[in-house]
Amino acid sequence: MDIVVLAGGLSSERDVSFKSGTQVAAALRNRGHRALVLDVFMGFSDAECDITDIFENSEENSVKVENIPTEAPDIKAIIASRADKSASFFGPNVIRICQKADIVFMALHGGDGESGKVQAAFDLFGIRYTGNDYISSAVAMDKQMTKDFLDRAGVPTPVGVSLKKENRRGFKFDKYPCIVKPNCGGSSIGVTIVESADQLGAALDAAFEWENEVVVEQFIKGREFSDGVIEGKALPVIEIAPKQGFYDYKNKYAAGSAVETCPAELTVTQTETMQKYAEKAFKALGLTTYARMDFMMDEEGDIYCLEANTLPGMTPTSLLPQEAAVIGLDFEDLCEDLIEVSLKKYGIKHG
């Protein structure tokens, strides 16, 4: 198959996306596919060009990224660096190249990549892609909306409220410690644990740097877990234990910063409960292909679902691939499997 592995973009997780895309493309090439890593924002070439044979030299034509920086990207500088200065999210030749592909493997994270906007555009252009449709992606990307859907489905989630920038004057939260985070962000960028009311203002400032709506919610002290779901079926649960602090951007992507245990060391009942919540959340959000649910378990053993990730990290050491490996699905198998379940949206049977 000719496959575009779409990465980059303009979210705070731009660099993480490139890492996922590079690893996915390598795995797909090992399976005999022609996989091209393409930056959705920068595009390919600065002007319209001949893309007839672009997949014949897919590796040479791909974006090359080595490591994930320890700091979030400077999005304003990236926007300013694009040669065509267009306001379009899609860079030069991106749509044309994606239309030539058999399928686009969505390695985008956060921002427009997971919000459903790219998915909706691809639907209009007749482009096939991995992952969920635009509606369920949009719902899951919105943390407060996700919490509302989880509440209705009977999946426990921390008590919280959303707050828009224009309404922050006089805002108070009566439950401390709490956590402040961008409503549609990822990779824990702009996230602050707030111990008391006098710290709230600075935390809001940090979150509002990334977007105009934030979530302020009850902070759950305890153990952190994640559970992937493929076609409605939960994978083994993984536990994430940062060596210092909480699971922030650095601890997610700096080697050796966290201990990840899969299967997580839980009782049978705890494991089954978390998997049940993951599957219920998946269904409640209207997801159909794959996703990953994040959880906290407090010191009393109560479980809370924090959010859903509709395009989870995809390096061999990312959480979803680690969970899949436990059931005998290696990274290359997983990449193939995600393509297969995604093609079902289009009535296509692969493999």
Residue-wise pLDDT for 61-91, tens only, equals: 998 876 666 677 788 999 999 988 898 999 9
| Lowest-confidence pick of 10-24, 35-49, 187-201, 264-278 | 187-201
The secondary structure of residue 166, as a DSSP letter, is G
Answer whether CATH 3.40.50.20 is correct for domain 2-131.
Answer: yes
Q: Which fold has domain 140-156+220-310?
A: D-amino Acid Aminotransferase; Chain A, domain 1 (3.30.470)
Which strands make up the sheet holding 192-194, listed edge to edge?
160-164, 213-218, 178-182, 192-194
User: Collapsing DSSP states into helix, strand and coil, what is residue 275?
Assistant: helix
Q: Which fold has domain 160-218?
A: Dna Ligase; domain 1 (3.30.1490)
Pairing of strands 34-39, 2-7: parallel
Binding site as annotated, residues: 294, 307, 309
20 is catalytic: no
The domains of the chain are located at 2-131, 140-156+220-310, 160-218
| Lowest-confidence pick of 37-41, 98-102, 143-147, 332-336 | 143-147
Considering 187, 188, 226, 342, which one is annotated as catalytic?
187
Considering 20, 62, 226, 318, which one is annotated as catalytic?
318
**Which tokens hold the place of 131?**
């992952």
Binding site as annotated, residues for Mg(2+): 294, 307, 309
318 is catalytic: yes
Q: Write phi, then psi, for 282 (nearest 5 degrees).
A: -55, -50
69 cis-preceded (ω within 30 degrees of 0)? no
187 is catalytic: yes
Alpha helices in 244-318 (DSSP H): 249-253, 268-284
CA 229 to each of CA 58, 171, 319: distance values in angstroms, whole numbers, following the listed order: 31, 37, 12
Average pLDDT value for residue range 218-241: 96
Average pLDDT, the chain: 90
CB 326 within 8 A of CB 33: no
Pairing of strands 2-7, 103-106: parallel
Q: What is the pLDDT, as a whole number, of residue 244? A: 59
